[in-house]
Amino acid sequence: MKITILTIFPDFVESSLNYSILGKARENNLIDVEVVNIRDFTRDKHKVTDDSPYGGGPGMVMKPEPIFNSFESLSGDYYSILATPQGNLLKQDKVIELSKKKHLVILSGHYEGVDQRVRDKLIDEEISIGDYVLTGGELPALVLIDAISRYIPGVLGNQESLEEESFSKGLLEYPQYTRPREYKGLEVPEVLLSGNHQRIADWRKEQSIKKTKQVRPDLLKNNPKV
């Protein structure tokens, strides 16, 4: 899978891609992430990518020319995404859907946003990672890449763990424990030490439902797995 990020802060994005599971996936050529500097496609010596909005108002807006130019430098078919708080809220099913694309292009907006003509002509889908505002689209782009890459075969050491994670079955994940068995008076639940796989599975499902009811009761609506 190939992912292209269009950004005015390529060093920030590139440095964040070189760690942990994602960094190893790039090293092993399981995922190809290309970082494109939008400033390289400006036509002035100061490499300006923003300007004041027509109609007045605070802040600046990203200019259409360098963004159009950066898109025109791309080859082949791709699916384009704008990371914006105005987009559709990212959910796990959308992550899985995007992981099946051959080439994703993610535009990282900045300032007060991007010129509407970019959104009208170049973007296939707008996605938000939450109901809050960040200083730029680089962090949402990285969140998208991290979430999507987990569904690329070979990226995770144990692909089966995807089936047990939060949201994979419409529920939050059950509590996890490891050694030592007792720590500062806190003990691992006895059922996890029983060796009875059915009891453990039942306990985990019960705990998942309990946690979901407490934190995200909205996930339980019309959930056939409960």
pLDDT of residue 21: 87
- Helices 138-149 + 20-27 axis angle, to 10: 70
State how far the Cα of 57 lies from the Cα of 165, in Å rounded to an integer.
Answer: 44
CATH of region 2-149, choose from 3.30.1490.390, 3.40.1280.10, 3.30.300.30, 3.10.20.30:
3.40.1280.10
Reported pTM = 0.88
Domain ranges of the chain: 2-149, 166-220
Let me know: does 137 contact 105? Beta carbons within 8 Å.
Answer: no
Give the CA distances from residue 10 to residues 4, 14, 86, 108, in Å, rounded to whole numbers and listed in that order: 11, 6, 23, 10
pLDDT tens over the chain, length 226 residues = 999 999 999 999 999 998 888 999 999 999 999 999 999 999 999 999 999 999 999 999 999 999 999 999 999 999 999 999 999 999 999 999 999 999 999 999 988 899 999 999 999 999 999 999 999 999 999 999 999 999 999 998 766 666 666 576 789 989 999 999 999 999 999 999 999 999 999 999 999 999 999 999 999 987 866 7
Fold of 166-220: Trp Operon Repressor; Chain A (1.10.1270)
| CB half-sphere exposure, 131, CA atoms < 13 A | 0
Cα 153 to the chain's mean position, in Å?
Answer: 17
pLDDT of residue 161: 62
Three-state DSSP at 66 gives helix
